Amino acid sequence: MVVVKLNEDKKFAILKQKTFTPLPRFATKDDFLAFIEANLEQQTAAIGINFAYNLIPVVGEMGELDGIMNQGDTKGHAFQGLQQEQVGKTIEDYLKETTNRDIAVTVANDSVCLITSGLEEDTDRENLIAAIAGTGYNVAIFLDNNTVVNLQASDFTGFTQTSTGKVVDSESKNAGEQLFNKEVAAGDLYKHYNVLIPLMHLATPPLQSSEELSRLAQKGIGAESQVARELFKRSASLIAAQLAGIYEFKGRPVRLTCIVQGSLFLKEPGYLLNIQTQLEALGVSQNAFEFKKIENSDVLGMIKLITGINASLMAEELFI
């Protein structure tokens, strides 16, 4: 959660930043709405929600970007009661009823926020993409100069599931959904290792997170470390295959800028190098991809989405 002061020169200052570890579980719509109200600042004029779930985009009454949630129980949050509802409007109506305040709420998928964070006046939009590889996985692209597309890449099905991936899927709460995500994302990678423990007689107890898997990979000794490294390498190779497809779709440009976010891209040793190596093996020109990290991309992307539509919110406090 970030509280931002936006000045008239379009520069912003972070007034307050709070991390929730662990993040509360939003089993129901009421859980989610109560969390937002409990953390709302008195001076907040607008709320921006960087939402890591699939949304059908719609436009709100003030021209703000909003979305209808149409994704099931993923990442431990069921959001029962919010499915098939317009997320921003639901929040606006709730806050009007409970606080008697009119607060504009902008809601966008996290991949859309990420790609928006990279926009400048001279940006070559058609050769700009954004990719997230952390707890979940997703990609956004510009279809043309004015159209951003959330590819919902985690739902890709045009590939052959691994044997461990089939087990991970069958044991999940959303079996048959997000199959690609279950092969590549940190939220599921360690589960593949756990499936292999009895099959390969690995001398470790079941892992609880991909952070543990990463530490195991970095030890560099024994079959356990080798299996852990191969799981990260396989994840990187699968993502590289999708990126190579996007490169072909874009007409094999000389340079394709990819804004990255997420623990696998930014923290896992050698992960991006494995992607680059696999891209070249798939016929992508060397150095065609420029992988780029943008500081405070979550905040910056949402601010650009809010102020690009509502100039009246300049010099106000935003809750993001």
For residue 310, is pLDDT > 60?
A: no
Helix (H) or strand (E) holding 214: helix 210-219
Question: Which string of b and e fits 124-135 if b means at least 16 CB within 10 Å?
Answer: ebbbbbbbbbbb
Ranges for all domains in the chain classified under CATH 3.40.367.20: 119-292
Band (pLDDT 50/70/90 cuts) for residue 316 is: very low
What is the distance of C-alpha 298 from the center of its chain?
10
Q: What pTM was estimated for this model as a whole? A: 0.85
The Cα–Cα gap between 284 and 277 comes to 10
The more confident residue out of 4 and 263 is 263
Residues 20 and 35: beta-carbon distance below 8 Å = no
Lowest model confidence (mean pLDDT) among 41-45, 110-114, 235-239, 263-267:
41-45
- What are the percentages of helix, strand and coil residues in the chain, rounded to 5? 40, 20, 35
Q: Both tokens of residue 76?
A: 């431990």
Phi-psi region of 287 (alpha: psi -120 to 50; beta: other; left: phi over 0): left
For residue 319, is pLDDT > 70?
A: no
The pLDDT value given to residue 60 = 84
The CATH class that applies to domain 2-109+296-319 reads: alpha beta
Q: Percentage of residues in the chain with pLDDT exceeding 90?
A: 66
Q: Both tokens of residue 65?
A: 């970007």
Q: Both tokens of residue 144?
A: 């043309």
Q: Percentage of residues in the chain with pLDDT exceeding 70?
A: 93
CATH 3.40.367.20 fits 119-292, yes or no: yes
The pLDDT value given to residue 52 = 80
Instruction: Please compute the mean of the pLDDT values over residues 298-308 and round it to a whole number.
Output: 83
Ranges for all domains in the chain classified under CATH 3.30.420.40: 2-109+296-319
Quick: pLDDT tens for 69-117: 886 555 667 888 898 999 999 999 999 999 999 998 999 999 999 999 9
Quick: pLDDT tens for 34-81: 999 998 888 888 899 988 888 888 988 888 889 998 865 556 678 888
